[in-house]
Structure 1
Amino acid sequence: MSAAPQRAMILAAGRGIRLAPLTHERPKPLLPLAHLTILHFPLLLARHAGVRDVMMNLHHLGHQIRDQFGDGADLGISIRYSEEQPHLLGTGGGIKRARSFLEGGSFVILNGDTLTDVDLPAVIDFHARSGAIATMVLADPRPENNFGIVRVDDTLQVRDISGRLCWDGQGGRAGHFCGIHVMEPRVFDYMPKEDVFCVNADVYPRMIAAGERVVGCFLARGFRDVGTPARYLETAEAILDGTLHPTYLGNAALRAHSEVAGLPRNVWVARSARVDPSAAIQGPVYAGPGVVVGPRARLGPYALLAEGSRVGEGAQVRHAILWERASLPPGRLLERAILTSRLELPLDTARGAL
């Protein structure tokens, strides 16, 4: 068995179709979540596990990801990029293309659009002790997540993935796949000759059919798939109220970014934000650097104001997200909606003038 992984690949090339029109402006992994983006979470998770070399595949608006993270020096890691143009290669094809980077030893694969609260070093140790060719990180399934279900037997051997293997065995356990794998280089021996394919649909079944040890690891404490605008808002709210609080964030955690004294514990206001004294705030609320909140405005509960956003006089924000430089006009209500500098995306309630 290989030593602890030093390299990881983050899958960040998807189009984010279900998140449109938000993803017309930026790639899904760059959607803001308070002071971070979605992509910060897998990057910081990999760093926490001792990984220092990361490959990211890019496709849709990939230049924005490259511009934001560069070579990774600001995060204390080395980032390289694999451009998939003109076509996406699928999860499997993307990994296959990075073979020369990954195959020196055990490696980690992480989805670039998933937030998981997991002890990745413990997962890596579990993988090493299991003798498996691949380990899939699983979480207890939730009713709202009816896809990505993996079934394991009593030895934790994976027996079915999303119903593809038609296992009719008794016992075992079902879990939701969290988008994290630990793999051995022999995985590449089971990849198709084609360039475009899916690792879950086209590689795992081959390994299992060949009798390889493929295991599920139930070490995820929390899991969020940011697949739709509604789930994006739910994820932001889980970060604000502490429902999702991965320990691997360390100094990047939201609690470390309270810059104004005397506020409730669930209200974070950047030092450079300007909040009028007559504004009312009901946490949880995050107001980032350069935010401007006008007189008699009302924030919260669950208001996320990204850097440079503005809330006009008498406007209200609750259960909503303002992206960077978004501006809510005076007297407007933004509720269960996402406001960017270009558009307003309501989710399931009407909004309008007060």
Structure 2
Amino acid sequence: MNTSILHPPSSITKAMLFAAGLGTRLKPFTDHHPKALAMVNGKPLLERNIEYLKEFGVNEFVINVHHFADQIKDFLVSKNNFGVEIHISDESDEVLETGGGLVKAKNLLGNEPFLVMNVDILTDLNIEEMIQFHLRNKPLVTMAVSDRNSSRKLLFEKDLELKGWRNLNSGESIIVSDNPLRELAFSGIHIIDPKLFKQMPESGKFSIMTTYMELMKEEKILGFDHSGGILIDVGRPESVLEAERIFV
């Protein structure tokens, strides 16, 4: 199945791809390569997601690198950056996780809302619809979410405003609402208003989810529900096989 569909350009044209992770679940491939270059039907995840976002008018990318960083840089050079503008945020000294990685790349991301995506996600999510949802509702953050199996769930009020988190395995939870809440799984894609940086640590290693959990009581963080669509976290060898049945 080829999920590639041309879409009109959007008013958000910059994206950050998180590509710095160690990819330990994809061993032994990641013993010698970055997970961003893991192949699905002969095409690396990084290439697939650059092409995917280009279909929605994204023409400028920030890519953070750490594990086998030079392989990613050399690959991009060999492909002439896929005809788009690419900035590298180099975390070779220390992988900073999602929150720290965003802060390090702050000066590359500009003053307009931008999209963030994990490089190991493959999906048919209509990014244009998500962007228009974000621009209409003007939250601090819009998170793509869906109703699917996951050990960690985000909790939303009926208007899809984020109000909690729950680990289904450990029972640990953070909840800031007395209203009925709906459990949805995060899809690894979000749209961020750069005003978020004013409420984040100025440096360090931390998860962006930690920031969202701190801010959800006072700030509007919304979910964009794309339940029923395709989403594969290509983090394990068996998920590569699953992805190859769908993404040609």
TM-score > 0.5, shorter chain as reference: yes
User: How do residues 123-162 of structure 1 correspond to structure 2 at under 5 angstroms?
Assistant: 123-142=130-149, 145-147=150-152, 149-162=153-166
**Does the CA-based 8 Å contact 1:71-1:80 persist in structure 2?**
no
- The structure that has the greater radius of gyration is 1
1:130 CA displacement: 1.0
Partner of 1:204: 212
CA offsets 1:303-334 (integer angstroms, 9 cap, x no match): xxxxxxxxxxxxxxxxxxxxxxxxxxxxxxxx
- Aligned residues with identical type, % of pairs: 28
In 1, the alpha carbon distance for the partners of 2:19 and 2:127 equals 19
1:230 CA displacement: 2.0
1:64 CA displacement: 1.1
CA offsets 1:235-289 (integer angstroms, 9 cap, x no match): 22333xxxxxxxxxxxxxx3xxxxxxxxxxxxxxxxxxxxxxxxxxxxxxxxxxx
**Does the CA-based 8 Å contact 2:103-2:203 persist in structure 1?**
no
User: How do residues 281-320 of structure 1 correspond to structure 2 at under 5 angstroms?
Assistant: none
Partner of 1:225: 233
1:37 CA displacement: 1.3
**Does the CA-based 8 Å contact 1:70-1:79 persist in structure 2?**
no
**Does the CA-based 8 Å contact 1:134-1:215 persist in structure 2?**
yes
Name the SS for the 1:118 alignment partner. coil
Kindly tell me the number of residue pairs found equivalent between the two proteins.
233
**Does the CA-based 8 Å contact 1:42-1:111 persist in structure 2?**
no
In 2, the alpha carbon distance for the partners of 1:65 and 1:160 equals 36
Given candidates 48, 58, 64, the residue that maps to 2:55 is: 48
In 1, the alpha carbon distance for the partners of 2:79 and 2:111 equals 21
* Structure 1 residue 173 corresponds to structure 2 residue 178: no
Given candidates 11, 14, 19, the residue that maps to 1:7 is: 14
Pick closer, same or farther for the CA change 1:71–1:110 going to 2, 3 Å.
farther
In 1, the alpha carbon distance for the partners of 2:222 and 2:188 equals 14
Partner of 2:246: 238
**Does the CA-based 8 Å contact 1:141-1:174 persist in structure 2?**
no
CA offsets 1:139-174 (integer angstroms, 9 cap, x no match): 2112xx323x21110111011134542356443422
In 1, the alpha carbon distance for the partners of 2:84 and 2:78 equals 8
**Does the CA-based 8 Å contact 2:154-2:185 persist in structure 1?**
yes
- Structure 1 residue identity aligned to 2:187: C
In 1, the alpha carbon distance for the partners of 2:78 and 2:29 equals 26
1:191 CA displacement: 0.8
Name the SS for the 2:54 alignment partner. helix
CA offsets 1:78-119 (integer angstroms, 9 cap, x no match): 111111022111111111111111132011111011112100
**Does the CA-based 8 Å contact 2:69-2:92 persist in structure 1?**
no
Given candidates 59, 62, 65, the residue that maps to 2:69 is: 62
In 2, the alpha carbon distance for the partners of 1:197 and 1:71 equals 32
User: How do residues 66-105 of structure 1 correspond to structure 2 at under 5 angstroms?
Assistant: 66-70=73-77, 73=80, 75-105=82-112
Partner of 2:193: 184
Higher relative contact order (CA 8 A, sep 6+): 2
- Structure 2 residue identity aligned to 1:236: E
In 2, the alpha carbon distance for the partners of 1:156 and 1:72 equals 40
Partner of 1:107: 114
**Does the CA-based 8 Å contact 2:15-2:62 persist in structure 1?**
yes
**Does the CA-based 8 Å contact 2:123-2:231 persist in structure 1?**
yes
For structure 1, the 5+ residue unaligned runs are 240-253, 255-354
In 2, the alpha carbon distance for the partners of 1:208 and 1:140 equals 20
Q: CA RMSD in A?
A: 1.9
In 2, the alpha carbon distance for the partners of 1:102 and 1:115 equals 23
**Does the CA-based 8 Å contact 1:72-1:79 persist in structure 2?**
no
For structure 2, the 5+ residue unaligned runs are 1-9, 168-172
